[in-house]
């Protein structure tokens, strides 16, 4: 059965079966050799090879009654007597002539698929060698399994590629994927349905397996090998059912028509959207202002060294060997445009570099996340006001803190009471709309442990000499609502 399925048979023009087909062969210049046809076990012709370009595809989708060519263009080109010898030689495995070399050009998608396969082979060789650890060494599919464990959907993450274009992707969507169970030496495809989604990953099941999960597999939907239904027909790629289920059906074409009628697939431009979403506005050698990781109270100039998935690898400008670096997202509140510190009165460490290197450019201001505008009329923050704030060096702790300096545009310099450096080098900048700062008493009404100043007695009442921050600055209505709910529960 396997030999019959993968065998190639050459049909002569005399066996075409109709006079109309014979006349067509003569009109095209006569053909002693018809297209190579892959046959299914039931004897019906399933795949055909174009005699002009060598493209393999579904026989029923080929042009002309004899199904010798994949398109009208190939049919007409074949009629040119100057190319026949080279074409026949190539089909027979002989070196092509100079005129025929143009026929070896592959479509763009075929090149992309070949490159993706090359990368996959490279990763496999690295894994087998054991000398390098691949970036995809962690197996999300095995970790998630096929149980009730769920992954957060991509649409929850508006800051990642495809985060705003994932709405059409859901369980039940059909795609065309490589068939790893074909038994053929060539790359063929088959339809699969999404059984489960977890982020970019999808658990797929080949069409025809129904309730059988033996061949289920996880893959990333954003890789080049995943296509919408109809991609194979448009590109002349072969659709071949897995050999494990060949015996279950005798007419796979009718089977697919019934299964796919009314079903959903990926948008035609899905892969184009993936590529577009992977383009980011930040570029290498752009200059930004970023928090100094050694002195949180000030900023420094840094250069963008790498941009991957919207994450930036930043290197401080004074660092010549590139080792003084760290990563953050391009929407991080830690980075700002050049001149930001001076505009709001924030501390800034001047760079020792007197001259920009070739290619360096200040990142445009519109690339940075915009902060909310705040109404500073009436009661507003003042230096010395007390509040509760999350310690940026210990995110699990809410501490007693002080507004050390009010900056422009709603920014504040905050210090943790009892542990501040004498020179204020550990102050940190929060915006007044930040969810990391709260009014005095916030932890008490929410039964959250408040970290007191170092050395302070927990039973000692807070000093009354300092004016408390107006609760209206911290959305007083929200706090009242939380208090009311807590009283109802008690």
Where do the structural domains in the chain lie, given as residue ranges? 2-104, 140-277, 286-367, 386-489
Distance separating alpha carbons of residues 320 and 345, to the nearest angstrom: 28
- Helix (H) and strand (E) counts in the chain: 12, 22
Query: Could you tell me the two tokens for 296?
Result: 């949180």
* Cut 0.75: pTM above it: no
- Thinking of the domain 386-489, which architecture would CATH place it in? Roll (2.30)
Q: What sign does the CA torsion over 372, 378, 379, 383 have?
A: positive
Q: Give yes or no on whether 2-104 and 286-367 have one common fold.
A: no
Distance separating alpha carbons of residues 218 and 204, to the nearest angstrom: 6
Could you give phi then psi for residue 231, rounded to 5 degrees?
A: -65, -40
Q: How far apart are the first and last CA of the chain?
A: 73
| Per-residue model confidence (pLDDT) at position 127 | 43
Distance separating alpha carbons of residues 429 and 161, to the nearest angstrom: 29
| Per-residue model confidence (pLDDT) at position 433 | 87
The radius of gyration of the chain from alpha carbons, rounded to an integer in Å, stands at: 33
Q: Which is nearest to 5 in space by CA: 199, 185, 271?
A: 185
Distance separating alpha carbons of residues 123 and 405, to the nearest angstrom: 53
In contact, 224 and 203? CB cutoff 8 Å? no
Res. 162: pLDDT tops 60: yes
The residue assigned the tokens 């970019």 is: 200
| Alpha-helix runs per DSSP H in 171-239 | 231-235
83 or 355: which leads in pLDDT? 355
Q: DSSP letter for 14, please.
A: G
Distance separating alpha carbons of residues 200 and 156, to the nearest angstrom: 12
CA angle, residues 409, 410, 415, in degrees to nearest 5: 125
Q: Which is nearest to 38 in space by CA: 183, 176, 208, 178?
A: 183
| Per-residue model confidence (pLDDT) at position 145 | 78
Of all residues in the chain, the percent with pLDDT exceeding 70 is 66
| Per-residue model confidence (pLDDT) at position 487 | 52
Domain 2-104 has CATH 3.30.60.160: yes
Q: DSSP letter for 107, please.
A: P
Stretch 202-207: mean pLDDT? 94
The residue assigned the tokens 């959907």 is: 153
Distance separating alpha carbons of residues 380 and 376, to the nearest angstrom: 6
Q: What sign does the CA torsion over 211, 212, 216, 222 have?
A: negative
Class of domain 140-277: mainly beta
pLDDT bucket at 264, cuts 50 / 70 / 90: very high
In contact, 144 and 195? CB cutoff 8 Å? no
Torsion, Cα of 9, 12, 18, 19 (10° steps): 160
Stretch 153-182: mean pLDDT? 91
pLDDT bucket at 108, cuts 50 / 70 / 90: very low
Res. 49: pLDDT tops 50: yes
Query: Could you tell me the two tokens for 237?
Result: 């790629």
Lowest mean pLDDT across 155-164, 443-452, 471-480: 471-480
| Per-residue model confidence (pLDDT) at position 102 | 37
Stretch 405-413: mean pLDDT? 92
Return the CATH fold of 286-367.
Answer: SH3 type barrels. (2.30.30)
Mean per-residue pLDDT of the chain: 75
Res. 48: pLDDT tops 60: yes
Q: Which is nearest to 10 in space by CA: 31, 36, 38?
A: 36
Helix (H) or strand (E) holding 211: none
Q: Which is nearest to 466 in space by CA: 423, 404, 424?
A: 404
Which residues are bridge partners to 308 per DSSP? 311
């Amino acid at each position: 059965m396997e030999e019959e399925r993968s065998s190639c048979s050459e049909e002569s023009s005399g066996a075409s079966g109709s006079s109309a087909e014979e006349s067509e062969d003569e009109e095209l210049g006569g053909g002693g050799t018809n297209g190579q046809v892959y046959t299914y076990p039931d004897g019906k012709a399933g795949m055909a090879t174009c005699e002009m370009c060598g493209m393999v595809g579904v026989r029923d989708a080929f042009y002309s009654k004899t199904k010798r060519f994949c398109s009208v263009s190939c049919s007409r080109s074949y009629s040119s007597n100057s190319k026949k010898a080279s074409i026949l030689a190539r089909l027979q495995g002989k070196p092509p002539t100079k005129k025929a070399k143009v026929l070896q050009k592959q479509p763009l998608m075929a090149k992309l698929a070949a490159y993706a396969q090359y990368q996959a082979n490279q990763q496999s060789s690295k894994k087998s060698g054991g000398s390098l650890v691949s970036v995809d060494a962690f197996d999300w599919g095995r970790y998630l399994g096929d149980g009730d464990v769920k992954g957060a959907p991509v649409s929850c993450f508006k800051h990642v590629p495809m985060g705003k274009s994932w709405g059409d992707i859901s369980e039940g969507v059909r795609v065309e994927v490589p068939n790893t169970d074909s038994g053929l030496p060539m790359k063929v495809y088959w339809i699969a349905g999404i059984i489960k989604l977890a982020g970019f990953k999808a658990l797929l099941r080949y069409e025809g397996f129904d309730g059988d999960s033996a061949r289920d597999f996880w893959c990333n939907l954003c890789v080049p090998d995943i296509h919408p239904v109809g991609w194979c027909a448009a590109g002349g790629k072969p659709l071949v059912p897995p050999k494990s289920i060949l015996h279950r059906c005798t007419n796979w074409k009718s089977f697919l028509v019934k299964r796919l009628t009314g079903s959903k697939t990926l948008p035609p431009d899905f892969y184009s959207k993936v590529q577009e979403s992977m383009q980011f506005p930040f570029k290498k050698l752009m200059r930004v202002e970023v928090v100094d990781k050694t002195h949180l109270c000030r900023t420094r100039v840094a250069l963008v060294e790498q941009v991957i998935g919207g994450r930036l690898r930043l290197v401080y400008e004074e660092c010549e060997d590139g080792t003084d670096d760290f990563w953050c997202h391009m929407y991080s509140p830690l980075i700002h445009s050049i001149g930001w510190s001076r505009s709001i009165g924030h501390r800034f460490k001047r760079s020792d570099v007197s001259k920009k290197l070739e290619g360096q450019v200040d990142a445009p201001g519109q690339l940075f996340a915009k902060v909310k505008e705040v109404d500073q009329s009436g009661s507003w923050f003042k230096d010395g006001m007390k509040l509760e704030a999350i310690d940026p060096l210990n995110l699990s702790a809410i501490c007693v803190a002080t507004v050390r300096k009010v900056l422009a545009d709603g920014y504040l310099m905050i210090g943790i009471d009892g542990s501040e450096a004498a020179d204020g080098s550990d102050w940190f900048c929060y915006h007044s709309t930040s969810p990391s700062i709260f009014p005095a008493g916030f932890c008490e009404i929410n039964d959250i442990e408040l970290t007191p100043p170092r050395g302070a007695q927990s039973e000692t009442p807070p000093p009354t000499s300092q004016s408390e921050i107006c609760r209206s600055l911290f959305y007083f209505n929200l706090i009242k609502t939380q208090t009311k709910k807590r009283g109802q529960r008690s």
